[in-house]
Structure 1
Amino acid sequence: MLPSASRMRRGEDFADAIRRGRRAGRPTLVVHFNAHEEAGGPPLVGFVVSKAVGGAVVRNRVKRRLRHLMRSRVESLPRGSLLVVRANPPAASARSEHLAAELDVALDRLLRRRGSGPRTPTDGRS
């Protein structure tokens, strides 16, 4: 799924991305992004899926789907950046195509604000 080196594990990284980063919200998810140009490591991606989304099985399914979607998008993030994807309750019943489209819109909005230019969709759509 998502490369091990790109998985966010420390609570400080989650807090840094959420508190100091910019965010883009969609009905099914909210993306928090904080770019650290001075850090040279790989981009770190974390996921937050609360109990409001559903029970443990539903939450784990949503996390797996989001990790799978981020696998092909992580290389478009700047090195050293922090990204947290927070699932909203509608993510539990959303189709994967819909989640992918909303994730692309949110990432595009955040990366364009940063000045990286427009992204091209990675799911084959024009």
Structure 2
Amino acid sequence: MSRAVGGAVQRNLVKRRLRHLSREVVAELPAGSLLVVRALPPAAESSYAELREDLTRGVQRVLHRAQSGVRR
């Protein structure tokens, strides 16, 4: 995780939160899918609920694009 996200304590907190949230989201993905999550600097000030919403929205967007055949 980049130092742009914040100090070591903030980076580790964001990393732990995203790791926990990604376990919930992986169940929605097709078998064999790879999930790569990149935390941006605003993640350091985001609450757990905000991170969950952002991660869920991102995964839904990717799944929708994959189902409709849209490539970006």
**Superposition TM-score tier, normalisation by shorter sequence:** 0.7 to 0.9
Q: Does 1:56 align with 2:8?
A: yes
What secondary structure sits across from 1:73 in the alignment? Answer: helix
Compute the displacement of 1:75 (Å): 1.1
Write 1 or 2 for the structure with the bigger share of strand.
1
**What is the letter of the counterpart of residue 67 of structure 1?**
R
Compute the displacement of 1:93 (Å): 0.6
Q: Which runs of 5+ in 2 are unaligned?
A: none
Higher relative contact order (CA 8 A, sep 6+): 2
Question: Matched residues in 2 for 1:74 and 1:81: separation?
Answer: 8
Write 1 or 2 for the structure with the bigger share of helix.
2
Q: Which runs of 5+ in 1 are unaligned?
A: 1-48, 117-126
Displacement over 4 Å in runs of 4+: none
CA RMSD of aligned residues (A): 1.3
What secondary structure sits across from 1:115 in the alignment? Answer: helix
What secondary structure sits across from 2:38 in the alignment? Answer: strand
Identity of aligned residues (%): 57
**What is the letter of the counterpart of residue 81 of structure 1?**
S
TM-score normalised by length of structure 2: 0.86
Q: Work out the number of aligned pairs and report it.
A: 68
Compute the displacement of 1:104 (Å): 1.0
What secondary structure sits across from 2:4 in the alignment? Answer: coil
